[in-house]
Amino acid sequence: MALITCQDASFAYEGHIAVSGLSFQVNSADYLCVVGENGSGKSTLIKGLLRLKTPQSGRVMLGEGLKPDGIGYLPQQTAAQKDFPASSYEVVLSGRMGAKGILPFYTQDDKDIAGKNMERLGIGQLRDRCYRELSGGQQQRVLLARALCATKKLLLLDEPVAGLDPVVTQELYRLIADINKNEGLTIIMVSHDIHSGVKYASHILHLKNTQAFFGPAEDYIKSSVGRRFIGETAEGAHRAEGGE
Amino acid sequence: MINTLIEMFSYTFLVRAVVVGILVAICAALLGVSLVLKRYAMIGDGLSHVGFGTLAISTAMNAAPLTVSIPIVVLAAFLLLRISENSKIKGDAAIALISTSSLAVGVIVISLTTGMNTDVCNYLFGSILAMNKDDVQLSLVLAVVVLAMFVLFYHKIFAVTFDENFAKATGVKTNLYNMLIAFLTAITIVLGMRMMGALLISSLIIFPALTSMRLCKKFRSVTICSAVVSVVCFFSGVVISYTQATPTGASVVIVNILAFMLFWAANSIKGGFQNEKV
């Protein structure tokens, strides 16, 4: 059985159907990129996968022993976090909290896992630095390390490169692709950036309040939906550059 | 100075008040860090006004103030929490609505029963003489419970404060811990309200947290620092109010303002140094 299976699922937001007709599978070690314009139902789908929202109809099934709280989630940053007084290590360690249930304190094991994940993402030296004083890229790595602390199987990334400059963006994409290849972690990434999506991801899910496309990234480039969307965003980017 | 302190603590009512006050100051400061960072600081203010209303009612009913106030204020805390999480109603407006309503109810009840007198002034601005022996025992027990709960759930409170969405997604029962924070806050406010005054008690929650955030960079150091700052400010405030014969609550707030300005200046000077180095 696949890691995640959606069977004709739909999700509602405040009474309105936000996205419907979702039928797709995510297998172990896949890298799925979810694309679509604002309001196309991407955030609602994320809430559905995290089981923070139950489907209005259809089913979402988790397989291979994946539990809803075993998903490593990288949410979008909130305004309150930007000036939050906490060390990077405190933030990363809090990724272990979900697994602890009612137990009040962290064990040595939890601390080792947090330290190891920070080393793995190259932020070991930022351990005692204040989260709010880090650069945008460093903050994202801290949150990614926290997400890794919460999962063994699946990372769910919500616009991980929003607000980062191009160089840092590419570094972060490479890091995520690296985690996917070398450690076999399944990745689901919501993104605006379709070009990097088709470059790194194995599968594409395109939402337009319904499922406009789902399949391997190679097929997406050739599909009419994909060709149009890639063309539009390329044109948009071109226009933006020309305008500067 | 030493003589003044010895003289002060020869009064048992002062010793009682200071012991309870210090415990309440610690509780308020610890919870305050989380409340300020979660943008819930106004809840503390709203609750203290509800507390004023319950004080008036309990006096009118001739009941023990704490036993009437605690359940009502705890209920109000859960209500305010629900309101501020519900994006359809504007949270700050709802809080203003509830606090002014409770003030009005309190004032009406007082004027119908005892009439407007010095009691009202004491409710609003606090009095060090407000606590009797039974109050002190109950206050001590409750304050220790609040402290123990905070230590036990410290990591959960951090997780819920820093990123509620992530915590919820990884299986932390965020609603439960939000309610715990609201519950502990309500108890702390009721305990401190009569000494500090309904209008001034929320300063104990807000000031120490903001003060220590000027200088500290870790959540744990912010938490510890605000507890220390809170105790030092409270104690100095009480000593000043004793020697200068000023109202206790207001004196504590004034010391807190000075501490805030001191930390703020220290941070600016430190920042200036760092800029020069670069």
CATH number at residue B235: 1.10.3470.10
Mean pLDDT of A228-233: 78
How does pLDDT run across B124-149, given as a tens digit for each residue? Answer: 888 877 777 777 888 888 889 989 99
Residues in B closer than 8 angstroms to A82, CB to CB, are: none
76-95 of A, contacting B, C-beta below 8 A: 78, 80-81, 84-87, 90-91, 94-95
Question: Among B154, B162, B220, whose Cβ lies nearest the Cβ of A91?
Answer: B162
DSSP bridge partners of B92: none
For residues A139 and A77, is the Cβ–Cβ distance under 8 A?
Answer: yes
For residues A4 and A66, is the Cβ–Cβ distance under 8 A?
Answer: yes
Q: In what order do the strands lie in the sheet with A71-74?
A: A71-74, A154-158, A186-190, A31-35, A203-207, A211-216
The model's confidence at residue A236, banded by pLDDT at 50, 70 and 90, is low
Is the Cβ of A99 closer than 8 Å to some Cβ of chain B?
yes
Is the Cβ of A187 closer than 8 Å to some Cβ of chain B?
no
Task: Record the tokens describing residue B199, joined without a space.
Answer: 């209008």
How does pLDDT run across B55-76, given as a tens digit for each residue? Answer: 888 888 888 888 888 999 999 9
How does pLDDT run across B12-22, given as a tens digit for each residue? Answer: 888 888 998 99
Dihedral angle sign, alpha carbons of residues B108, B114, B117, B122: negative
Residues in A closer than 8 angstroms to B35, CB to CB, are: none
Question: Residue B153 sits in which domain range?
Answer: 2-277
How does pLDDT run across A72-130, given as a tens digit for each residue? Answer: 999 988 877 877 899 999 999 999 988 887 888 999 999 999 999 999 898 999 999 99
- H or E segment at A71? strand A71-74
According to the model, what pLDDT value does residue A239 have? 58
Q: Which region among B63-72, B117-126, B171-180 has the lowest average model confidence (pLDDT)?
A: B117-126
CA A90 to chain centre: 21
Reply yes or no on whether the pLDDT at B8 is more than 60.
yes
The model's confidence at residue B274, banded by pLDDT at 50, 70 and 90, is low
Is the Cβ of B163 closer than 8 Å to some Cβ of chain A?
yes
How does pLDDT run across B40-56, given as a tens digit for each residue? Answer: 888 888 999 999 999 88
**Based on the structure, what is the number of domains in chain B?**
1
Mean pLDDT of B224-237: 95
The model's confidence at residue A242, banded by pLDDT at 50, 70 and 90, is very low
Reply yes or no on whether the pLDDT at B85 is more than 80.
no
The model's confidence at residue B222, banded by pLDDT at 50, 70 and 90, is very high
